[in-house]
Amino acid sequence: MSTVTAIQEGFSNSALRMPYALAELSCGHVAGVRLRDTRGVCCGCGAGLSYSQGSSFQRCACGTWMAGNINSPNPHKAEDRLTKMGDVMECERCAAEAAQLEWLRALDMSTVHHTRERYGSIYLYRLEPTSPSNFMLIGSVAPTPANEALLRGRLAPLSPTEQA
């Protein structure tokens, strides 16, 4: 579990600049912030409608699909953010890194011929005589200190075919 230490605000890098907010966590990672529901009014009967994040518009009880007076949350407004400073939340990246570490610990290291760090990941390869390169990808893990410690002595910047 991590604590929200700060909120980063910014705009998407697209033709239609959309605001976004990210939560900086005490573990050093960032996560998306939760926003209040989008509110609207049914065009058929005038009833208030509410749509949660990630859901599509739904049919009103009167049968109308249309909603008017849409009031969407703005991630740059503190009152529209449900995620606040000091909140405790689970970090998805930390959980993924822990799962990778467990996978790496369970892996039979004798099958690992070599590793290669590229594109922000450590790739693990085994010998495979039917492959044109003689190697087959086993899997990949993040280059964290714990993963690198388990792979000590097996990390290489080049593959065996590039070293020749």
Give tens-digit pLDDT for 76-127.
Answer: 999 999 999 999 999 999 999 999 999 999 988 888 888 888 888 899 999 8
User: What was the pLDDT predicted at 42?
Assistant: 83
Q: Is the pLDDT of residue 43 over 90?
A: no
User: What was the pLDDT predicted at 67?
Assistant: 72
**Across 23-37, 62-76, 106-120, least confident range:** 62-76
Distance CA 147, CA 111 (A): 17
Question: Could you tell me the CA-to-CA distances from 38 to 23, 35, 50, 57, 75 in Å, in that order?
Answer: 20, 9, 6, 10, 12
Cβ pair 125, 138 in contact under 8 A: yes
Q: Is the pLDDT of residue 21 over 90?
A: yes
How far, rounded to the nearest angstrom, does the alpha carbon of residue 32 sit from its chain's CA centroid?
9
User: What was the pLDDT predicted at 63?
Assistant: 81
Burial of 93 (0-12, 13-18, 19+ CB in 10 A): middle
Question: Could you tell me the CA-to-CA distances from 33 to 4, 98, 122 in Å, in that order?
Answer: 10, 22, 29
Rounded to two decimals, the pTM is 0.66
Q: Which residues contact 32 (CB under 8 A, 6 or more apart)?
A: 22, 23
Residue 162 confidence class, pLDDT cut points 50, 70, 90: low
Q: What is the mean pLDDT of residues 28-54?
A: 83
